Amino acid sequence: MAVIRAVIFDFIGTLTDLVGYSLENSENKMFRSLIASGFDLGRKEFFEAYERAHHEYWNIRYGQLKEITNAVWISEALNHLGYAITADDKRIKTAVNAFFENYLKALKLRVHAKKTLQRLSQEYQLGLISNYTYAPLIYAGLRKLKINEFFNVVVVSDEAGWRKPSPKIFREALRRLRLKVDQVLYVGDTPLEDIEGAKKAGVKTVFIPSQFNSLEDMQKAPLQPDHVIEKLSDIFKILDKQ
């Protein structure tokens, strides 16, 4: 049996809680940013076009597991409303940043997260794999929470192009760490994206319940994790047995 040389974590839910977040407030900020940038938009018409584009790309993201950034469906909504604009337009980027302001503020570290990462980093390589449509938010979150220094590798679906549970995003993390599947332990809080995805990539898995997914949710899933922990510091009980 190979010795574990790295521990890879999911981010949102696994290492962080989301406290006091409102999607409606984020959408309002995005809309106000577009208006401030000079777009003459009716609120109802814009959000109908936005939801239509969002739904279209939702099917690609969750059906084909290909990641598509928010800027794409915002620009598509504007195109539908008569604006010839691309996703890399600076006004779109400004609107995306406005959308994520409240999300960033809502990210809080889970109990034991920083101490666990600090201790692990003294002996193991650490990685992070996050399903997120806007990679700058993940990097900003890591800096805000002061845990960015612990990670040797950060893979975000926005940049990788693939979403968990696709094995491809797990293999990308392994490639960057230069490790084999049996040298890594993966910790996540979602039965499908994290546990099933990592297991299909051949990686040993650890499930931790979160505000988003309970132990009961995990027990109902078709693929079960190799280990279950109640809190992040319990990871050492697994590693000490190897």
Measured between alpha carbons, how far is 196 from 177 in angstroms, rounded to an integer?
Answer: 21
Report which of 58, 138, 59 is spatially closest to residue 104, judged by C-alpha positions. Answer: 138
The phi, psi pair for 29, rounded to 5°, reads: -65, -40
User: Residue 32's pLDDT is what?
Assistant: 98
User: Residue 174's pLDDT is what?
Assistant: 97
Tokens encoding 45:
């018409």
Measured between alpha carbons, how far is 16 from 212 in angstroms, rounded to an integer?
Answer: 11
User: Residue 59's pLDDT is what?
Assistant: 87
State percent of the chain over pLDDT 90.
Answer: 96
User: Residue 241's pLDDT is what?
Assistant: 82
User: Residue 58's pLDDT is what?
Assistant: 87
Assigned CATH class of 6-18+109-239: alpha beta
Dihedral of alpha carbons 184, 185, 190, 192, sign: positive
For residue 165, cis peptide bond before it (omega within 30 degrees of 0) = yes
Give CA torsion, residues 18, 21, 27, 31, to 10 deg: -110
User: Residue 1's pLDDT is what?
Assistant: 58
Segments of the chain scoring below 50 in pLDDT: none
